[in-house]
Amino acid sequence: MGMSHRVAIVQMKSSSNKEENLKISVDFIKEAARRKARLICFPEFQMAFSARQSSKQLAEIAESAKNGKFILKLCSTARSYNINIVATIYEKSDRLSENRVYDTAVLINSKGKIISHYRKVHLYDALGSKESLKLIAGDSIEAPNHTSAGTIGLMICYDIRFPEMSRILAVQGAEILAAPSAWFQGVMKEEHWETILKARSIENGIYMAAPDQVGSIFSGRSMVIDPFGTVILDMGNREGMEVVEIDISRVQNVRKSLPLLKNRRTDVYRNHISAFT
């Protein structure tokens, strides 16, 4: 079965210049297509590195997720090069008085059509950071979408620390969880990153594709992990793009031999549902 194909992961060092980041992104897409990748995944904050910008400055560079210049250019490039793209943007709020923006991941298919648009649900108000000062939390987990590279579920960075979310996406049929990230450096941070990504892969029998920002305050270590927890890519701290081979049929095979999703006791969990409210 031709279930095997290539996925490109971009470990980016976004600057605060949106046009420059777009140009770099387009070059990566062309290179990925040349290397026969069927999917390319960019990290969080692809549009711009934001840490030193005020929420007002962020609101000024933010765009619409439907027809902003940044996304439309990625859509036309996806179509020209016949490749699926996971990209991230700062998305303008609909409320005029609102100075904060959404941290949004977009799935563009190889026909250049936006098939999913996910606003980060878990904001990083932790370990000394307070994203909610600049970002608005999304309030919906988007169902996974079929693409020519497999069925893809979207999450962003801090989301991976919450096992409920990847489990929901896995149960809804995701074969790949794409988790664009901008993981901060810090005590135990790389340890957490690798451990959590492996755990999410293993407990769901799923591929994790986690592109990360690198340099400055970020930890790099972009990873792809297979459904049995094997690390098939770890980019360390080098900037650039790597292409790996993944085999979607492995998701079903692993789930057959280690049937974690099947062995769940939802009849028992149901009695404890108040723990989730």
The one catalytic residue in 18, 41, 44, 92 is 44
Residue of 153, 161, 220, 154 whose CA lies nearest to 195: 161
| Architecture category of domain 4-276 in CATH | 4-Layer Sandwich (3.60)
The one catalytic residue in 41, 131, 157, 242 is 157
Name the residue type at position 218: F
Residue of 213, 206, 204 whose CA lies nearest to 15: 213
Residues 6+ away with beta carbon under 8 Å from 245: 4, 5, 6, 7
Q: What is the pLDDT of residue 2?
A: 53
pLDDT at 263 over 60: yes
- Cβ contact 219:43 at 8 Å: no
Distance CA 90, CA 105 (A): 9
The one catalytic residue in 18, 75, 91, 120 is 120
Check if 73 is active-site: no
Looking at every residue in the chain, the average pLDDT score rounds to 95
Q: What is the pLDDT of residue 55?
A: 84
- pTM of the shown model: 0.96
Check if 157 is active-site: yes
CA atoms within 13 Å, Cβ hemisphere of 192: 15
Check if 44 is active-site: yes
pLDDT single digits (tens) 32-71: 999 999 999 999 999 998 777 788 888 899 999 988 999 9
Q: What is the pLDDT of residue 9?
A: 98
